[in-house]
Amino acid sequence: MTTKNYIEQKIIDTLERNYMPYAMSVIVSRAIPEIDGFKPSHRKLLFTMYKMGLLTGNKTKSANVVGQTMKLNPHGDMAIYETLVRLTRGNSALLHPFIDSKGNFGKQYSRDMRYAAPRYTEVKLDKICEEVFRDIDKNTVNFIDNYDGTLKEPTLLPTTFPNILVNPNQGIAVGMASNLCSFNLQEICDATVQYIHDENLDFTKVLRAPDFSTGGQLIYNEKEITEVYNTGRGSFKVRAKYKHDKQNSCIEIYEIPYTTTSEAVIDSIINLIKDGKIKDITDVRDETDLSGLKITLDIRRSTEPDTLMNKLFKLTPLQDTFSCNFNILINGKPRVMGVREVLKEWLLFRVNCIKRQVLFDIDRKSEKLHLLLGLRKILLDIDKAIQIIRNTEQEEKVVPNLMAGFGIDQVQAEFIAEIKLRNLNKEYILNRVSEVENLQKEIEDLKGIYESDQRIKKIIIKQLNDVAKKFGQPRRTEIIHEEHIEEITHEHLIEDYNLKLFLTDHNYIKKIPLTSLRSGPEHKLKDDDFITQELETHNKADLLLFSNKFTVYKLKIYEINDCKASSLGEYLTNLLGLEEDERIIYLIATDDYKGNILFAFENGKIAKIDLMSYATKTNRKKLANAYSDLSPLVKIMALTEDLELVAFSSIDKVLIFNTANINPKSTRDSQGVQVLNSKKGSTMTKLKRLEEVGFKDLDYYRTKNIPATGCYLKEEDREEKQMMLPLED
C-alpha cells in the first residue's frame, strides 16, 4: 500500500504566494530607480557616508564605508563595494560622480581593468552631495526603520536638481527593466527652469541630446530623440571619436560609446582581420594609460582612414545603439515616462520637500517664539521671578509656581527655570526678547511660502540656477546631425578589385580576379564547352545577363563567388533559377547605366536601347521583355559611343553604317529601325565591328543613309580568302 507524500496545489495560488512577492521585492526594493535618481543600494550607501561625516571630513578607507553600510544594506561586502565603485570619480561611469575617490576603481570603458580591494582605496562624498542631502535633517523626506529596526534611513534623498536625468541608471527586474541615459546637468537645469515657466515647452528645442561620461559622438536623428523625449522609449546611435596620425600611419581611438568597452572593440576588430573582412589594419593595440583611453590601429599608408572607420562603425561596437526605457518608481509603482512626465513628477516631489522643510522651520521658530514670549513676561518683574523661586521649598514646585505667578505654560516655565543665575539680568532678557519681532516676521514669511506654490517654484528655480552655475560643465558627447553622416550600406563593406568575367556556351560563368588570372591563365572547361564572351570589370559593378528567352537578369558582381581559371565556375541555371532550355547569351557590366545596347535581328532591323531602361529603383533581379521577340536575334552589343558596324546578309550583301543614324529608344522591347533591307527574302546573318573585318575598299560597302540593301561581297574580302596563308617556296 502506497501513501501520498505530496500536497496538491493550484499553480496560480503557488505563484501568488511564492513568486509574486519576490518579483515585487526586486522591482520596488532593488532594480528600478526612484524619482530622486537612486536605487535603494545607492541611497543606503550615500546616506551611510553622510552620517559618517564624509561630506566635509577627510577620506576614509572604502572598507570602513562598506562595513558601516551593512547596517542598512543586508548584502555582502563585495556587492556593496561594487555599488560604491560605480559612484566614484575614479570609475568614470557618471557625469557627476557622488564619491570623491583615491586609488584604483577600474574604468567604465574597460571590461578587464579590475578595481582594487576596498582596503586599498579611500573615499569621501563629493561636493555635489551637498545638493543631494540639502535640508535632509529638516524632515524633507520620510525615514523608515532599517532591516533590523535599530536605525532609521531615508526613503528618498531630497536632491535639489533632477538627478534622475543627470546620471545614467540601468536595472533589470522581474518582468521589466529600466535604462535611463544621462543628460548634461547645465542643460537639464535650464530645461527644468523653462518647463516651470511653460508646461507646454518643446524639449527638443532646449534639451539638446543625451550626454555621456565616456564622450563620443551622438548621431542626432530628430525623430528618434523626439520619441525618447515624448515616450521614454526609443533608441539613438553613439559612435567613437578618433584622430589620424599621418606621420606614424595609425588611427587613435580616444572615446568610445558608453555601452561598450575597449576590450570588446579590440576583440571585434581582431576577428574581422582574422576573417579577412578588413585588410587595411596591420596591428591593434590598447594604449590606455593614466591620461585616458587610447586604442591604436596601425594601418597601411595607402588606406583612407575615414573609409576604414566607416567600415568599423558598421561592423564593430565603435558605433552602438543606446536603448532607452525611462521606467521609474513613482510612489512604489513603476511607470515609463517621457522627459516631461519625469520632470513633472520630480517637481511634485521637490515642491513637497520644500513644503516639509518650511513646516519644519515654522515649527522650530514657533517653539522658540513661544519660549521668548514667556521670557518677555518675566521682564515685567524679574524680582518677582526670583522671589517665586527663592520662596519655593520643593524643587518640583518651581515650575508650577512660575506658571501660576506669570500665567505661562509648562514649556515656558521650564525654559525660564533653566536660565542661569548670571543671565537673570535686564540686558540679557531684553536682548533675547528683541528677537521676538524678527521671529514673528520670519514665521509669517514662511507661512506665505508654504501657501504659495509660486514662491516655492521660485526657490526651486534659484536652487537649479545655483546648481548649474556651481557644478555645470561642458558637454562631453558631441552632437553630429544624421545628414552629415555617410550612410554605411552593405556595399560599402565589399572589397572592390579588378576582375574578368568569362561566359561559356554551356551556361557557366567564371569570376576571376586579375591577380589570380596572371598566375594561372589556363582555363578548365567541360568537354565541347567554349568561352563565348570575356568581360573586364570590377567587383562592385552591376551585371546584366541577357538570356535567349527575352529576359535580363540583374546581379551585383560581388554576389558571384570568385574562382580560379582551373575551376568550372558558377552554373548560371542554378545561380539565376533559369528554365531548362534557357541560356545566357550576353553580359554587360555597368556602374551608372550610361550608354546604349544594340539588338540586331534577322529581319534587318536594329534596336538601340538606352541602358538606363534597365535601371530599376527596386532591387528587382529579373526583367521580362528585355528585347523584341518579333524576329530572331543575331547580335547583342554594348555601345559606350557611336561607331561604324558591318552588317552581312544571307545573300552575301554587306553594308557598313554608323550607329549615330539610329535613334535610341527607351522601350526595352522596341523593334528598332530598318538598317539592312531584305532582297529576294534575304535575312541579316552577322553584325561585326569595323576593326573585325579586313576589307580593302571600305567605301564600296559604306552608306550614309539607312535603310540600304548593301553591296555584294567582293571575292577578295571573303573571310576564307583573307585567312589563307601564302605557300612557302
Q: Are residues 580 and 689 in the same domain?
A: no
Q: Are residues 353 and 406 in the same domain?
A: yes
Same domain? For 305 and 360 the reply is no
**CATH number for position 75:** 3.90.199.10
Query: 384: domain CATH number?
Result: 1.10.268.10
Residues 254 and 313 in one domain: yes
Q: Is 180 left (phi over 0), alpha (psi -120 to 50) or beta?
A: beta
Query: Looking at the domain assignment, is residue 235 inside a domain?
Result: no
For residue 214, with 0-12 CB atoms within 10 Å meaning exposed, 13-18 middle and 19 or more buried, which class applies? buried
Q: What is the model's pLDDT at position 389?
A: 85
Q: Is the pLDDT of residue 517 over 80?
A: no
- CA distance readout (Å), 386 to 393, 414, 427: 13, 14, 16
Does the residue 533 lie in any domain? Answer: yes
- Whether 212 is covered by a domain: the verdict is no
CA trace torsion 601, 606, 607, 611 (10° rounding)? 100
Which of 539, 477, 491 shows the shortest CA–CA distance to 511?
539
Query: Does residue 180 surpass a pLDDT of 80?
Result: yes
Looking at the chain, the whole-number percentage of residues with pLDDT higher than 90 is 60
Distance of CA 663 to the CA centre of its chain: 53
CA pseudo-torsion sign 258, 259, 264, 268: negative
| Same-domain status, 556 and 604 | no
Residues 6+ apart with CB under 8 A from 594: 611, 612, 640
Would you give the DSSP letter of residue 407? T
Q: Which residues form the domain of 543?
A: 494-588
pLDDT classification of 3: cutoffs 50, 70, 90: low
CATH number of the domain where residue 704 is located: 2.120.10.90
- pLDDT the model gives residue 543: 92
Residue 486 has pLDDT above 90, yes or no: no
Task: Report how far residue 238's alpha carbon sits from residue 692's, in angstroms, rounded to the nearest whole number.
Answer: 59
pLDDT on residue 719: 67
Same domain, 596 and 729: yes
pLDDT reported for residue 692 = 86
Q: How many domains does the chain have?
A: 5
Which tops the pLDDT comparison, 471 or 487?
A: 471
Q: Which of 631, 630, 654, 633 is nearest to 644 (CA)?
A: 654
Q: Provide mean pLDDT across the span 256-279.
A: 92
Look at 595 and 483; give whichever has higher pLDDT: 595
Higher-confidence residue: 420 or 131?
131
List the beta bridge partners of residue 286.
295
CB 204 within 8 A of CB 195: no
Rg (the chain; Cα; Å): 44
Instruction: Using the 3D structure, point to which of 159, 185, 216 is the last residue of a domain.
Output: 159
CA nearest 583: which of 548, 535, 609, 615? 548
pLDDT at 195: 96
Amino acid residing at 637: M
| Residue 584 reports pLDDT greater than 90 | yes
Q: Pairing mode, if any, of strands 570-571 and 508-513?
A: antiparallel
Q: What are phi and psi of 152, to 5 degrees?
A: -110, 145
pLDDT (0 to 100) of residue 628: 92
What would the pLDDT profile of 280-323 be if each residue is shown by its tens digit? 899 999 999 888 999 999 999 888 898 899 999 999 999 999 99
Spatial contact of 314 and 492, defined as CB atoms under 8 Å apart: yes
Give the residue-averaged pLDDT of 154-165.
96
726 has pLDDT over 50: no
Task: Considering only residues 528 and 256, tell me which one the structure prediction assigns the higher pLDDT.
Answer: 256
The pLDDT of residue 729: 34
- Asked if 583 and 675 sit in the same domain, the reply is no
The verdict on 382 and 407 lying in the same domain is yes
pLDDT at 720 over 60: no
The answer to whether 418 and 432 are in contact (CB under 8 A) is no
Q: Residue 723 pLDDT more than 60? A: no
Contact (Cβ atoms closer than 8 angstroms) between residue 351 and residue 456:
yes
Which carries the bigger pLDDT value, residue 213 or residue 15?
A: 213
Domain boundary among 295, 317, 339: 317
Residue 727 has pLDDT above 60, yes or no: no
Give burial (CB, 10 Å; 0-12/13-18/19+) of 299.
Answer: buried
- Indicate whether 528 and 566 sit together in one domain: yes
Classify residue 459 as exposed, middle or buried by CB count within 10 Å of its CB (0-12, 13-18, 19+): middle
Spatial contact of 512 and 565, defined as CB atoms under 8 Å apart: yes
Beta strands in 444-561 (DSSP E): 478-481, 498-504, 508-513, 531-538, 542-547, 552-556
> Any bridge partners for residue 544, and if so which?
554, 588
d(Cα 629, Cα 647) in Å, to the nearest integer? Answer: 20
pLDDT tens for each residue of 184-237: 999 999 999 999 999 999 999 999 999 999 999 999 999 999 999 999 999 999
Which tops the pLDDT comparison, 390 or 92? 92
Is 558 noted as a catalytic residue in this protein? Answer: no
DSSP string, 250-315: EEEEEE--TTS-HHHHHHHHHHHHHTTS--SEEEEEE--BTTB--EEEEE-TT--HHHHHHHHHHH
Q: What's the CA angle centered on 574, arms 536 and 601, to 5 degrees?
A: 60
d(CA 608, CA 181): 60
Q: What are the pLDDT digits (tens) for 590-619?
A: 988 999 999 999 999 999 999 999 988 777
Q: Which of 244, 238, 232, 230 is nearest to 260 (CA)?
A: 238
Grid cell, residue 461, equals 528655480
Percentage of residues in the chain having pLDDT higher than 70:
96
| Mean pLDDT in residue range 553-573 | 89
Residue type present at position 657: F
Within 10 A of 727 (CB to CB), how many other CB atoms are there?
Answer: 5
Average pLDDT over residues 17-38: 80
Half-sphere exposure of residue 614: CA atoms within 13 angstroms, side-chain side: 33
The active-site residue, picked from 19, 22, 120, 147, is 120
One domain for residues 248 and 284: yes
pLDDT > 80? residue 643: yes
Quick check: is 488 in a domain?
no
In a domain, 332, yes or no: no
Do 602 and 580 belong to one domain? no
Please name which of 717, 713, 716 lies closest in space to residue 685, comparing C-alpha atoms: 713
What's the rounded mean pLDDT across residues 33-37? 94
Do 502 and 450 share a structural domain? no
Taking CB atoms within 8 Å and a gap of at least 24, the contacts of 268-276 are 268/315, 268/316, 268/317, 269/297, 269/312, 269/316, 272/312, 272/315, 272/316
Question: Computed from CA positions of residues 517, 523, 525, 529, in that sequence, does the dihedral angle turn out positive or negative?
Answer: positive
Which three three-digit cell numbers place residue 519? 598566375
**Which pLDDT score is estimated for 413?**
87
Tens-place pLDDT, residues 659-705: 999 999 989 989 999 999 988 888 999 999 988 888 888 888 888 88
Mean pLDDT of 68-83: 92
Asked if residues 291 and 267 have their Cβ atoms less than 8 Å apart, the reply is no
For residue 143, is it within any domain? yes
Q: How far apart are CA 666 and CA 669, in angstroms?
A: 9
Q: What length is written for the chain?
A: 729
The sign one gets for the Cα dihedral 432, 437, 438, 441 is positive
| 167 domain-assigned | no
Task: Give the pLDDT score at 355.
Answer: 96
- 192 falls within a domain: no
Query: Which residue, 159, 192, 219, sits at the end of a domain?
Result: 159
- Tell me the pLDDT of the chain averaged across its residues: 89
Sign of CA dihedral 585, 591, 592, 596: negative
pLDDT over 80 at 27, yes or no: no
